[in-house]
Amino acid sequence: MKPTSLFNVHRRQMVERHLRARGIGDERVLAAMGEVSRELFVGADQQDAAYDDCALPIAAGQTISQPYTVAFMCEAARLSPHDKVLEVGAGSGYGAAVLARLVHEVYTVERIPELTEEARTNLAAAGCRNVHVATADGSMGWPEHAPYDAILVTAAADALPTALVDQLAPGGRLVIPIGTGGQTMYRYTRLDHGLRRDDLGGFAFVPLIGAYSAER
Ligand code: SAM
C-alpha cells in the first residue's frame, strides 16, 4: 500500500490532467473528485492503478467506473447541494461517494448482493453518511424515495427505462448510457410537458441487467 501522501499527489494529478484538462469545468465536481480516496474502493491488487483514468475490476466481474466518466456524469446531471439523487449501479460505492459530496442525499441500488455489501463497507470507510444502499433491480428505480432531482445510471440500458422517468421530479435530470456494444450517453430532463433529450456522446459501460434489458 502506498503512503497516503502519495495517493493525495496522484489524486490531485488525476483532477488536473484527466478531468480539468479534458473539459470538466464544474468546480464543485472537481473538488469532490479531489476529495474521494479512490484507493478505498478498489482491491489491494489495484491500488497502484487507483488514480489511472480507467475502469478497474471489482468483485463479481464488475468494474469501478473511470474517474472521467464519474465526473462527466456528475457534471451532466447539473447537481445542486439540496438535491436528492438516485444512482443505479452502486458497484464499489465510488460514484456514490463523489455524489455524496455534491448533494444532500444519495440513494444507490445494486443488483449483486456481494457488491451492495462491499459498497456499504467502502462508503463507511470513506465517511459517507448521506448514502443509502440497497440490493434491487435499479432499472425499476427506488420508488419509496422518489421523486429524485437527478438519476445517474452507471450501466448501459437497451432502451429508456420508463420507471426511472416516472421517478424524476419536475425539472429532474436522468443521465443514462443507452445502446448495445458502444453506447450513447443521454441526459433526459423532465419538463412541464414531456422530456427533453440531450445527446452527450459515446461511452462504454457494462450492461444494465434487469426489467428493461434483453439480458436478465
Ligand atoms: N458506480 C459504480 C462504482 O463507482 O463503482 C460503477 C458500477 S459498474 C460500472 C455498474 C454496476 O451496475 C455493476 O456493479 C452492476 O452489477 C450494476 N448493475 C447492472 N444492472 C443493474 C441493475 N438492473 N440494477 C442495479 N445495478 C445494476
Centre of ligand 1 to C-alpha 108, Å, is: 9
Q: Per-residue confidence at 182, pLDDT binned at 50, 70, 90?
A: confident
pLDDT at 49 over 80: yes
Closest CA to 149 of 199, 88, 82: 82
Cβ 208 under 6 angstroms from ligand 1: yes
Q: Which of 33, 37, 42, 62 to mutate to test the pocket of ligand 1 (most atoms within 8 A of CB)?
A: 62
DSSP sequence for 61-121 = G-EEPPHHHHHHHHHHTT--TT-EEEEE--TTSHHHHHHHTTSSEEEEEES-HHHHHHHHH
pTM comes to 0.96
pLDDT at 150: 98
Centre of ligand 1 to C-alpha 155, Å, is: 6
**For the chain, what percent of residues have pLDDT higher than 70?**
97
pLDDT at 167 over 80: yes
Per-residue cell: 57 = 475490476
Q: Where are the domains of the chain?
A: 4-203
Cβ 206 under 6 angstroms from ligand 1: yes
Bond from prior residue into 147 cis (ω within 30 degrees of 0): yes
Closest protein CA for atom 12 of ligand 1: 89
Q: Per-residue confidence at 215, pLDDT binned at 50, 70, 90?
A: low
Cβ 62 under 6 angstroms from ligand 1: yes
Cβ neighbours of residue 28 under 8 Å, at least 6 residues apart?
A: 79, 102
Tens-place pLDDT, residues 81-136 = 999 999 999 999 999 999 999 999 999 999 999 999 999 999 999 999 999 999 99
Closest protein CA for atom 2 of ligand 1: 91
Q: Per-residue confidence at 5, pLDDT binned at 50, 70, 90?
A: confident
Centre of ligand 1 to C-alpha 166, Å, is: 20
Cβ neighbours of residue 203 under 8 Å, at least 6 residues apart?
A: 69, 177, 182, 183, 184, 185
Residue 105, strand partner residues: 84
Cβ 65 under 6 angstroms from ligand 1: yes
Integer Cα distance of 205 and 135 in angstroms: 20
pLDDT at 212 over 80: no
Cβ 92 under 6 angstroms from ligand 1: yes
Domain spanning 4-203 has what CATH number? Answer: 3.40.50.150
pLDDT at 216: 58
pLDDT at 52 over 70: yes
Q: What is the mean pLDDT of the chain?
A: 95
| Cβ-based neighbour number of residue 34 at 10 Å | 15
Report how far apart, in Å, the C-alpha atoms of 31 and of each of 16, 35, 149 are: 11, 6, 21
Which amino acid does the sequence have at 78? Answer: R
Cβ 118 under 6 angstroms from ligand 1: no
Residue with cell 456522446: 201
Report the pLDDT averaged over residues 11-38: 98
Write down the catalytic residue from 65, 92, 139, 213.
Answer: 65
pLDDT at 113: 98
Tens-place pLDDT, residues 54-76 = 999 999 999 999 999 999 999 99
Give the β-pairing of 56-57 and 131-135. unpaired
For residue 37, indicate whether it is catalytic. no
Closest protein CA for atom 14 of ligand 1: 91
Cβ 88 under 6 angstroms from ligand 1: yes
pLDDT at 100: 98
Q: CA-based angle 153:158:162, to the nearest 5?
A: 65
Closest CA to 27 of 18, 19, 37: 19
Q: Per-residue confidence at 181, pLDDT binned at 50, 70, 90?
A: confident
Integer Cα distance of 95 and 89 in angstroms: 9
pLDDT at 206 over 80: yes
Centre of ligand 1 to C-alpha 157, Å, is: 11
